[in-house]
Amino acid sequence: MPQIFPKWANQLAPKLGLLAVLVGTVAMAGVTYYLTPKYTRVGYQPKQPVAFSHKIHNEQLGIDCRYCHNNVDGSWFSNIPAASTCMNCHSLILKDDPKLALVRESFATGKPIPWVQIHKVPDYVYFNHSVHVNRGISCVHCHGEINQMDEVQHAKPLSMSFCLDCHRAPDQKIRPVDLVTQLDWKGQVDGKQLVHDWKVQPGQSCSTCHR
């Protein structure tokens, strides 16, 4: 009986299978490495409906973070200020500036300003702002030098390894609570002593953040 396929065809299926495994492994490694928050979020800077400069409000004018984000030390999330908070100042300052038209409209109608959220973690991650703020973890550690930003951008990866680095060595990030919102503070502190005194024991098990 004549041979229909050459002998080398017997090795074709195993070789194609091996090639598929190799290509799949490389693709999976690339996705795992490059599609992490470090690569997909850092540098993210969407255009907001109203231009707001943290550098002017915080750095130059010295307005404390908690004046606008007034729930950050008492809630799991950091609230975006309502237009009424803005109008506490802007009813007198730049009260007719066209750049603030949407703020005035929001204040008059009660319709929220459609801010674009920048910092967020996946739905399967639990994060509590108040726990961190009340134990001396400054905004700057997770949000970068936001006090120097004219437009807010995503500065830190907020990946699992990023969080675990801090949970494993909280003494490297901790500071006195009254200095948490002083974003340009560069002083020295005995972190190990604060961790001991405040009984800071950040969990490293899966259930700490995945509930």
Q: What is the pLDDT of residues 154-201, one digit of tens each?
A: 999 999 999 999 999 999 999 999 999 999 999 999 999 999 999 999
For tokens 């409209």, name the residue.
105
Residue 84 pLDDT:
97
| Domain ranges across the chain | 71-80+119-209
Whole-number Å distance between alpha carbons of 195 and 80: 30
What is the full DSSP assignment across 1-51?
A: ---SS-GGGGGHHHHHHHHHHHHHHHHHHHHHHHTSHHHHTTT--PPPSS-
Confidence category of residue 3, pLDDT binned at 50, 70, 90: low
Q: What Cα–Cα distance (Å) separates residue 94 from each residue in 85, 97, 100, 103? A: 15, 5, 8, 12
Average pLDDT over residues 94-122: 96
Greatest CA separation for the chain: 98
Does an H or E element contain 207, and which? helix 206-209
Torsion angles phi and psi, residue 117, rounded to 5: -70, 135
Whole-number Å distance between alpha carbons of 148 and 183: 9
Residue 58 DSSP one-character state: I
Residue 145 pLDDT:
96
Closest CA to 116 of 57, 44, 54: 44
Percent of the chain with pLDDT over 70: 94
Q: Regarding predicted confidence, which is higher, 8 or 60? A: 60
Whole-number Å distance between alpha carbons of 73 and 128: 9
Contact 121, 110 (CB under 8 A): no
Closest CA to 131 of 81, 182, 174: 174
Whole-number Å distance between alpha carbons of 91 and 183: 28
The dihedral sign for the CA sequence 191, 196, 199, 204: positive
- Two structure tokens written together for 143: 């949000």
- Say yes or no to pLDDT of 1 above 60: no
Q: What Cα–Cα distance (Å) separates residue 18 from each residue in 7, 23, 51? A: 19, 9, 54
Residue 8 pLDDT:
67
Q: Count how many residues are written for the chain.
A: 211
- Two structure tokens written together for 166: 């801090």
Q: Regarding predicted confidence, which is higher, 1 or 99? A: 99
pTM of the model: 0.81
- Two structure tokens written together for 36: 């992490």
Q: Regarding predicted confidence, which is higher, 18 or 66? A: 66
Residue 5 pLDDT:
63
